Structure 1
Amino acid sequence: MTSPAFATPLELPLSQETLAAINDHLRPLDPPQILEWAVKHLPSLYQTTAFGLTGIVAIDMLSKIAPNTANQPPLIFVDTLYHFPETYALVEEVEKRYGLKVTVYKPAGCETVADFEKKWGERFWERDEDTYDFAVKVEPGQRAYQDFNVCSVITGRRASQGADRASLQPLEVDATGLLKLNPLFAWKFSQVEEYVKANSCPRNKLLDQGYRSVGDWHSTIKSGAGDAGERAGRWAGKAEKTECGLHKDYFAMKAKAKATQEATA
């Protein structure tokens, strides 16, 4: 009899015993093997990416595992409206290089920065960063998952990024029941860089201009001499902030955003 941990596709929700068995199986595998397992076993699998190096590596690996783009997990890009021009250019480069169509989701009811600022005000991230993260990243992401009945997503998280990610497992289940696959969970940043170079993967041109990690233009600066960590330059001056919101408690962020909207209505 087939173990429930290796049914194709997996039946949801996963029990803790099944999740533990899957992680025991995936932990010693290399990233392409983890992705190959995921393509076979995970239901309604998508990749949510902001086109950082780890996300690009996963895209490249998947292109080799499933050369037919119809068999690759579809790509979702959450456009905060505040990305650098270089990031938008990278999205187009990835589409052209791999023959993929990226599905873009933006903040609810907003197509432009002007739309967003009319709804939330200028420099909203300075006044309420948590609600800003919810409005530009979390809510659009959840809307995409609902529209496409997404059950599983590939992320670019790695344990070496530290903070909340230090104890990362290959497969996790968040509070909403979404399966999150972290295929490069055990890789160091040097391994990611080596793969990108060896496979001539597309990369954000800002990484050649002194930036170490790229997010929204208003919260990303060039890393300075002596800066530690591969995410140096993100959320400058906010040592307590280590996550953009996509991997934080969805229900807590939703409740706070609703309270903020009601208070300002």
Structure 2
Amino acid sequence: MTVSSTSPSAQSSATRTQTSAAVSVSSETALPTSETKQAILTQPLFVYNPEYIAFLNKSLATRSPEEILEWALISLPGLVQTTAFGLTGLVILDMINKIRNRRQLAEHPVPLIFIDTLYHFQETLDVAKRASEKYDAPLQVYHPQGHDNVASFESHHGQELWKTDADVYDYVVKVEPGRRAAIENNAQVLITGRRRSQGASRAAIPILEIDSGVTPAVLKLNVLADWDYARVWKYVQENGVPYNVLHDRNYKSIGDWHSTQPTAESEGERDGRWKGEAKTECGLHKDYFKMRANYLAAAKKRKLTESTDFVLVDSEEPSSKKIDS
């Protein structure tokens, strides 16, 4: 799938009508089989441009998140969910499971990917396991390339890399594993948990957007873009969604243990992340190519072996660890 920046629409009027109708999905509309999905991924690439995405967003704005997800499952090839098991990601996982149950699908319909930075709270690892088991969703775990434990990682990169070079840290523990996961899963559309109420660079995100070069995926699907924290939390409570117990200790947004703090009631949702710094994103939603260039420059300066480069993506052996529920 590729992106066209040209102004002419990538779709005919007839196709637009079909797509608009597809946003309103009936229970009789069949989801593509695994064979069909593979066939789609090997066909000539789809083309999206800003005009067509704007058209889709206008249609999607009137639909519920669950309706959007069901439409995406039918209409968009290469769907992948990457989550750190924050509240929004868990809500999306619950909604996908409801669609699965309603349609009586034998398997979880979307690859579920977790980037283990090696510095997550134990509580985060616990909820990842609980959620994977509850929703019978096999979890693909990706680590920094060449390292699956802190001792190995720090023997190569040194201690507290997040302090000595935050951009290199983000690239090595989050961005590169995320890109590798996308490549290995043929990702073309990335389901995210970003919401406008989180502010900063997320304040104006649309439901469906063209990726700016973060991953091989061409589109990002921000299913809960217009929900606020209170609405997400209400859904969690009303639907019995498992969640990170740190939320009960005033942690609203949870990342690595070294850069996450609890927040006061009056503080913003992400104010506990990188407190006292200008930073607002971990790197997963930044320009991949700029971050890679920065990493390569730093690696050259430090004369590092590029064990963190995605050298294994063409290997027959997947680089993730799958945790079956």
TM-score, length basis structure 1: 0.94
Q: In structure 2, what residue type is equivalent to 1:146? A: I
2:275 corresponding residue in structure 1: 236
Shift of 1:196: 0.3
Q: In structure 2, what residue type is equivalent to 1:167? A: A
Q: What RMSD over aligned residues (CA atoms) do the two structures have, in Å?
A: 1.8
**2:292 matches 1:258:** no
Counterpart of 1:153 (choices 172, 179, 190) is 190
**2:259 matches 1:246:** no
Please say if residues 4 and 18 of structure 1, whose CA atoms lie closer than 8 Å, have aligned partners that are also in contact. no
State the identity as a percent: 47
Q: In structure 1, what residue type is equivalent to 2:114? A: F
Distance 2:106 2:258 in 1: 34
Of the structure 1 ranges 169-178 and 147-156, higher mean CA displacement relative to structure 2 is found in 169-178
Distance 1:61 1:247 in 2: 23
Q: How many equivalent residue pairs?
A: 263
Unpaired segments ≥5 residues, structure 1: none
**2:103 matches 1:60:** no
Q: How does 1:122-201 map to 2 (within 5 A)?
A: 122-176=159-213, 178-201=218-241
1:120 corresponding residue in structure 2: 157
**2:49 matches 1:12:** no
Q: How does 1:199-214 map to 2 (within 5 A)?
A: 199-214=239-254
Distance 1:69 1:78 in 2: 26
2:73 corresponding residue in structure 1: 39
Shift of 1:97: 0.6
Distance 1:108 1:38 in 2: 31
Please say if residues 210 and 222 of structure 1, whose CA atoms lie closer than 8 Å, have aligned partners that are also in contact. yes
Of the structure 1 ranges 10-19 and 108-117, higher mean CA displacement relative to structure 2 is found in 10-19
Q: In structure 2, what residue type is equivalent to 1:234? A: R
Shift of 1:139: 0.2
Please say if residues 32 and 62 of structure 1, whose CA atoms lie closer than 8 Å, have aligned partners that are also in contact. yes
Shift of 1:146: 0.9
Change in 2 beyond 3 A, CA 1:82/1:28: same
Q: In structure 1, what residue type is equivalent to 2:220? A: K
Please say if residues 69 and 99 of structure 1, whose CA atoms lie closer than 8 Å, have aligned partners that are also in contact. no
Please say if residues 69 and 100 of structure 1, whose CA atoms lie closer than 8 Å, have aligned partners that are also in contact. no
Change in 2 beyond 3 A, CA 1:28/1:128: same
Shift of 1:69: 5.3
Q: Secondary structure at the match of 2:47?
A: coil
Please say if residues 111 and 185 of structure 2, whose CA atoms lie closer than 8 Å, have aligned partners that are also in contact. no
Of the structure 1 ranges 174-183 and 83-92, higher mean CA displacement relative to structure 2 is found in 174-183
Shift of 1:225: 5.9
1:4-53 alpha-carbon deviations (Å, 9 max, x no partner): 87289796231222211111111121111111111111111010000000
Q: Secondary structure at the match of 1:125?
A: helix
Change in 2 beyond 3 A, CA 1:44/1:185: same
Of the structure 1 ranges 130-139 and 68-77, higher mean CA displacement relative to structure 2 is found in 68-77
Please say if residues 63 and 69 of structure 1, whose CA atoms lie closer than 8 Å, have aligned partners that are also in contact. no
Change in 2 beyond 3 A, CA 1:5/1:126: farther
1:240-259 alpha-carbon deviations (Å, 9 max, x no partner): 21111100111111100110
Distance 1:244 1:103 in 2: 20
Please say if residues 97 and 108 of structure 2, whose CA atoms lie closer than 8 Å, have aligned partners that are also in contact. no
Distance 1:5 1:72 in 2: 23
Please say if residues 116 and 143 of structure 2, whose CA atoms lie closer than 8 Å, have aligned partners that are also in contact. yes
Please say if residues 108 and 137 of structure 2, whose CA atoms lie closer than 8 Å, have aligned partners that are also in contact. no
Q: Secondary structure at the match of 1:3?
A: helix
1:23 corresponding residue in structure 2: 57
